[in-house]
Amino acid sequence: MSDLILVCYDGSELARRAIDAAAELVSMRRAVVLNVGPPLTTLEWDALLVPGTLDFEHVNAMAARELAEQGAIYARRAGFEAEAKGGVAAPIWQAIVTYAEVVDAAVIVLGSRALTGVGELAKGSTSHRVAEHAGRPVFVVPPPIAESTSGA
């Protein structure tokens, strides 16, 4: 395995939290920051029925690359030698696992929305699927515990 970590980044505070946690706990300093977006959203699929519609997949791929670059900038500030990679694929978890294999990532780092029960069934859990199928270490950083539930 390489000395490279793969950081999954979606622009959220949870993704930035994952980068910060990795910067504190992971000794490797080389990182690829990856954003994988869906090729088309539900609304975009519907819009394709209209003649002369934009190439949404191309637009989404450009947006994914831009978001990955924002994450790489954040990762560089956290001390990583980071490069950005972005694209579109479905399912997203599978693209993450495949890309980790391509770059032979030592660890995959991603934030978690900590979905449980019905929320996880309805929305799915990228972090759970990545951890289940990656065949390599996965560092899942949960959201902070809400003050109201911490007993403070």
Among 30, 27, 7, residue whose Cα is nearest residue 141: 7
Q: What does the alpha-carbon distance between residue 10 and residue 14 come to, in Å, rounded to a whole number? A: 9
Q: Which residues have a Cβ under 8 Å from the Cβ of 58 and sit 6 or more positions away?
A: none
Give the architecture-level CATH label for domain 4-149: 3-Layer(aba) Sandwich (3.40)
Q: What does the alpha-carbon distance between residue 127 and residue 18 come to, in Å, rounded to a whole number? A: 12
Mean pLDDT per block of 10 residues along the chain (152 residues) reads 91 95 93 88 55 69 94 97 94 96 97 61 74 96 71 48
The pLDDT of residue 113 = 77
The pLDDT of residue 121 = 42
The pLDDT of residue 115 = 55
The pLDDT of residue 39 = 77
Q: DSSP states of 83-125 as a string?
A: EEEEEE-SSHHHHHHHHHHHHT-SEEEEE-----HHHHHHH--
Q: What does the alpha-carbon distance between residue 16 and residue 111 come to, in Å, rounded to a whole number? A: 8
Q: Which residues have a Cβ under 8 Å from the Cβ of 43 and sit 6 or more positions away?
A: none
Q: Report whether 19 contacts 71 (CB < 8 A).
A: yes
Which two three-digit tokens encode residue 38? 């869906």
Among 36, 10, 7, residue whose Cα is nearest residue 140: 7
Domain-by-domain residue ranges, the chain?
A: 4-149
> Which single residue is written with the structure tokens 């934030």?
111
